[in-house]
Amino acid sequence: MDQQKHEARQPIIGRRDFLVGTAVAGAVVPLGSLAWAASSDTSASQTGSMNTRKLGKLEVSEIGAGAMSISGTYGPAANISDGIRTLRTAHDKGVTFFDTAEVYGPFINEELVGEALAPIRNQVKIATKFGFAIDGTTDRDSRPDRIKRVAEASLKRLRTDRIDLFYQHRVDRNVPIEDVAGAVKDLIQEGKVLHFGLSEPSPRTIRRAHAVQAVTAVQTEYSMIERSPETNGVLATCEELGIGFVPWGPLGIGFLTGRIDSNTKFDPKTDLRANFDRFSPENMAANMPIVEFLKQFAARKEVMPSAIALAWLRAQKPFIVPIPGTRNIDHLNENLAALQVGLTPADLTEINAVLAANPVHGGRMSPMFMEAVDVDA
C-alpha cells in the first residue's frame, strides 16, 4: 500500500468521528456452562506458545489483535510500515485473530490488514464489520443488498476469498435483525463469509439473530472499568447460547495501561477520547485509584498493568477473547505478557474488592456514540 495514499486519505475529525471510532469495546462471574462443555478447553490446542479459545465454533488465539488504532482514532495514524510490522510481529508471537472494519479510515484499515496478512492468510482468522452508511453522517445501513456489496468490497481490500467473522458493526433499527442475519446466512452459504457476529447488541437482538443464523461472536466494550456486559444480560446470553465474547477496549481505551492521568491532553482533531466523559480531567483523576492499584499489583507480578487487565478479563470466562490494539511492538509485548500471568482465586478476590470499592466515574462514551448501542426496551 502506498504510504502517501494512506496519509492523504486520513479523515478530518468531525461528524465522521463516530464512523471512524465506533468499535470504537463487582464479583467474578462463575465459569462454565453446558453450552461450553465441549468447546472451552484452552489447553487442547496451541498456536506457537499461545493457547487457543473457541468463539462458537471458530478457533482463535486466546488474545487477538485490534487493528483500528493503527489508522488513527486514538491519535494520529501510524506509519504504514510500522503498522504492518506490528501485525506481523503479533502473528510471530502466536496471535491468529485480527480485527478490522470497513469504517476504520474508512477503508484504509482493511487495506492495511490485507497487506499485512496476505503472506500468512491461511494461518490467521480475520474479522471485519459492516453496517455504517459511510456518507458523512452517523447513519447505519444494514440493508441486505448493501451487506452483500460491503462483503465483496471488503474481500478485495483484505486480499482474501473469505471473511472468517463478519460482524454487524452496530444494530440498524430500520432493518429487522432477521433480515440482517438472513443476508449473512446467504454469504455463508456462498462461502464468502464463514461466521456471523454482532457488535454492541442487546440480549434480545442476539436471540433473534441467532434463531436465523448462528451467532459466533458478540463484540462489546468490556474491561475492568467498563463492566456493563456483566449486568445487562449480554455476557449471560452468550454463555447460554454458546456464543463467544470479544471485548473491545479491554485496556479501558488506554486508561488501564498506566500511561494516562488527569494531566493527559487529547487532541480533539485526532483523538476521540477528547469528547468521552470518562476521559475528562476530573473523571480521570477520580478513577486513578484503580490505576494506582493496578500498577502496584502488576509490579508484584513483574509485568505491566496492561498484562494484569488482560489476564483479569481472560479469567472471567473461557470463551472471552480480548483484542487489545496497538501500533507499538513494545506495547504488544507488554500485552502478551498476560499469557504468563496466573491469577489465583485470592488475586481475583483482591482485584474485585478494589474495583468494588472504587466505582468508575464518567460514562463510557459520548451521547452520540451511546445512541448507537443497542439496548433492550
Give the residue numbers annotated as catalytic, written as ranges.
104
CA–CA separation, 125 and 216 (whole Å) = 13
Residue-wise DSSP of 156-184: HHTTSS-BSEEEESS--TTS-HHHHHHHH
CA–CA separation, 150 and 129 (whole Å) = 9
Cα dist from 204 to 37, 45, 201, 236, 260, whole Å: 24, 33, 8, 12, 36
Question: The cell 493457547 sits on which residue?
Answer: 51
The dihedral formed by the CA atoms of 95, 96, 97 and 103, expressed in degrees to the nearest 10: 100
Question: The cell 470499592 sits on which residue?
Answer: 357
Question: 46-47 and 50-55: which strand pairing?
Answer: antiparallel
Three-state DSSP class for residue 50: strand
- 10 Å CB burial of residue 146 (0-12, 13-18, 19+) is middle
The dihedral formed by the CA atoms of 250, 255, 259 and 264, expressed in degrees to the nearest 10: 150
